[in-house]
Chains A and B, each alone.
Chain A
């Protein structure tokens, strides 16, 4: 997106007087889910979060039934924390940056459908537990070992290209879009692009390289990188434009060279 994209943004010429929100509700983890529809007056510059805030003020469904206010997660409201991720009109994205005008222009209707991400435990309504992704970061040891007992001096020099590439991976906000859209992820049989990209981020670092085998080991398990099905949805839905597929294939090469044909060096 160019920096001027917000100026060129399309708006609804004849917005409806009111818009409907079909929201998937669940009282608590393990409870059955059901749908509830709410209606709020349209106003300019609404996004999904501000619409949810309007609904929360007066949680009455279109049938006139008084209900509990919908629960969702939010924090930064500028698409850098990733916590407000949900499935909006069938596609996973951050609700803070999902503008109602864009959604209605795309669907051509006056209803927006909201559901929690399906690949994570659903805590309540639109709120999910994303701790699995942090377990995956531990599994691939996505960090650099420094014990801090003595001064290592200045860090190693890296080329501008490497720094740029590592920067693009470092933008991951652990939102879960890539895992939600992945047709292979789920049931704990695949670690997913998020952790693979973070392993690659540290494998690329001149100091982190020393522990490449530890990270590859975390990716070689029964739920590892090899279960990638190459549907490449991850790179399409990543809100930070991280080259996730490149991380997967670079790591595939690392594994082919270091693990699969590693014995040829012995």
Chain B
């Protein structure tokens, strides 16, 4: 006898999958690009230009990021609406994590709406009005201009921390929901791994954000390549 899939089952599995494969993968690329700012404006702008040079860029943007993101966030909000949080009576750690996952998800829905309008499209009135897309040469100056405004910087730091948590714990949830990690001991090991990943993603993300207001972010400048030095060391053109 064949097993029948219900719509809810398929949607949930798709929700778990979109969180990991397109969106999780994209976030690592995104963080990598942001971290390029540690080495100065030119290195960052070059990285952004490299992305602009991707073949099939628009298709990747639409089907690799936009569609999965809309599905994951809208369906995620529907899932969160089913929750009946009870952490006050059952204050177990995993029960708090259950609540965090939903709280960060709902926050990220609004944060990403802001973030995409702010940088990808430059459409938030009173803030940056130049889209980064198509203006790779201005990418660093756009972002660092925004991050001079304290409340914008604070919102981005909260957004980075929420993303770090949501993605890292999401890896754990994927592993248990697909029956990859089953036993109590194994879950503990994987959970600690995912929590360390959350810390690493959070620290790297915040450091990259500070790279737009201070050379080399929060690290001592000696640890970063100085931009002009990098240029002089570049091979001469013939």
A interface with B by C-beta (< 8 Å): 90-91, 181, 183-187, 189-190, 213-214, 216-217, 220-224, 226-233, 236-237, 243, 245-246, 249-260, 262
The answer on a CB contact under 8 Å between B1 and A213 is: yes
The answer on a CB contact under 8 Å between B92 and A222 is: no
Further pairs besides A183-B84, A183-B99, A189-B82: 4, Cβ < 8 Å: A213-B3, A217-B1, A232-B95, A259-B5
Chain B residues with Cβ below 8 Å from A223 are 8
Chain B residues with Cβ below 8 Å from A221 are 6, 8-9
A and B contact pairs by CB, cutoff 8 A, 15 listed: A185-B84, A213-B2, A214-B1, A222-B6, A224-B6, A227-B82, A231-B92, A237-B90, A245-B184, A246-B182, A246-B183, A249-B176, A253-B178, A253-B179, A257-B179
Given A216-B3, A220-B4, A226-B12, do A233 and B92 touch, yes or no (CB 8 Å)? yes
The answer on a CB contact under 8 Å between A229 and B98 is: yes
The answer on a CB contact under 8 Å between B177 and A246 is: no
Chain B residues with Cβ below 8 Å from A237 are 90
Chain A residues with Cβ below 8 Å from B173 are 230
The answer on a CB contact under 8 Å between A90 and B89 is: yes
By secondary structure, the A interface counts as helix
Chain A residues with Cβ below 8 Å from B3 are 213, 216-217, 220, 255, 258-259, 262
Chain A residues with Cβ below 8 Å from B94 are 230-233
Chain A residues with Cβ below 8 Å from B99 are 183
Chain B residues with Cβ below 8 Å from A186 are 84
CA distance A252 to B16 in the complex (A): 13
User: Is B13 close to A, CB under 8 A?
Assistant: yes
The answer on a CB contact under 8 Å between A183 and B83 is: yes
CA distance A228 to B177 in the complex (A): 8
Q: Which of A91, A185, A236, A250 contacts B182 (CB 8 A)?
A: A250
Which residue from chain B places its CB closest to the CB of A263 in the assembled complex?
A: B2
The answer on a CB contact under 8 Å between B184 and A236 is: no
B 125-168 contacts with A by CB, 8 A? none
CA distance A183 to B95 in the complex (A): 8
Given A216-B3, A258-B3, do A231 and B98 touch, yes or no (CB 8 Å)? yes
B 1-42 contacts with A by CB, 8 A? 1-9, 12-13
Which residue from chain A places its CB closest to the CB of B95 in the assembled complex?
A: A231
CA distance A183 to B86 in the complex (A): 6
Which residue from chain A places its CB closest to the CB of B10 in the assembled complex?
A: A226
